[in-house]
Structure 1
């Protein structure tokens, strides 16, 4: 376990030890490191979950977007752009250390924006990496619960990008239940995340789409409603999502520090990371034990979705074995999905080039390509403000 700051990592390490001990797993050792090399050296798996600039930087991103009457959400809009610029150089530094100190290790990346970060490491290092997100597993659990079936009796076919993925098929106990689930959503069933308001989808959209959007599609397809709500929250005492999370995190660390706590506190559900531990352990097990198990992860396309580059990272069903994640062939996305996917992937790849090379021209094009910005005059103003407010973390931009 590595973190630059001592206090939080010591609290988390102590809680982890108590949790292991409470389950009779005293043999599991939790070690703490204050510099990355000793943490990485000889590792089999390196789990990355980091936030450059921490939550105040996220809050500033959100406020910046809202000041231009744009969504500043940390993975989809200008917030995702700014976070990627800050994060990619740090992740590439970690990847280079993994290459040198643990060349056979797998990086399991949770760091948002997960698709962009995973692709940057995949393309600009030789480290082995798989990206993970809790959106697919949350959708899986929710849809299985809607159908009143055990989760292992329901299979979902995902294809798209991180935080922009669709469920194209639902197989429930051996039968195609896609239309049934769509009708349940049309009739008022909710499918969302703790951190995203559950605004209903228009039934006409779901029936025409013949697929199930992920909760993050609300930012792209219900933009005005989402923006109105976020502007109202920011103007009230509720604050932006980052400001809300800062309050939750302060409360959580008070709980974590209690010597009596030896299990996950209920308040953690407010943080928005449900099921991460479940999918992380499944992925590690499948990689380590060569299971050939199907999971939904972020990995290089390699022809799975037609029309996207082979090295573009996508989110889809994969077979996981000791050699990594092998995406199942999907074909071409339908027109509406394909158009949005192409545009967002262009944004992601331009952002990666800007972050890696400190290229302001690529950065400007990235913001223009982002469907939540898509205005050259606003894009230039946003870029200037992002570079100025984040200059402490963006030395690559001269």
Structure 2
């Protein structure tokens, strides 16, 4: 058999095997690098040899490390830059749904998962053309109805209209990140069949547990209590100023802040901090480097004030990332979404605080942790995504 014939047979075999695998398209308008749960979803699905996964997203413009994962093909468009001209932003807003729709047509996936209403339009166009395609919807955030009426939300408002008129009824799966948000969603959309609305929490992967509790095991008597915050910040929406002032008053407490996303006022405030026990890292930290980084600390902070329903009922991915590595978590009493996880009976502990009265709190019981406490049960993104993956496999295997 000549070489050309061997290569032709090999290409045919690979193509046949690819056709037998379920084709899954994940549409995520925001750059996936900004959303760890999206990266975990792509990796978890692509780890299954029965699925072929492609993602459709935008280029990140905040110098984040580029997401790469074996088995995941990403097609990208340019993200609208707030510093660009209005015309350029408009062009980029329009290009994403059109190019993504065309890419979906050429690939013809059996299942489309779109995340956030910002991503709805290309999924809508594709499902109109391919009526056999299965549609699944997930949201990182809970969006209050009045949010769609805000300035700058015209495109998202149109997408949400498509959701209410067609996509929510067409979908076989709709998910929010916790039980409270599921209830809020169903209250906003009573016509949606409640049996297809699910809870899908933002959990880190199982591989993170390899570093669990290392930081507390290495803590020595007299060593400063080390706090860490990872994520977006603003002086208006978080208790940033309050925690900084408290740390400045505590000679045996240190705080490091990793934040690549803040408004100019907040960035200036952080840059001008003069306390040598507070570190500010404006480049943030790439998600894959986070487990090892977090082992340097004892307590992870959540600082949201709960200015909207979305944040009041938010159990963010930060909570679970801190916990799986073994850090205690301090969170504001306004965040009702974290309250179900609060406990002193297990380690790591999740501790509710009044961030407006930090000076009046006796922190002695929080500075040490009883290492005889049992470990709390930890679930992972692989566990959380299992029902969704099984639904996808059942849909693709029957086609």
Q: Please, what TM-score do these two structures have when normalized by structure 2? A: 0.27
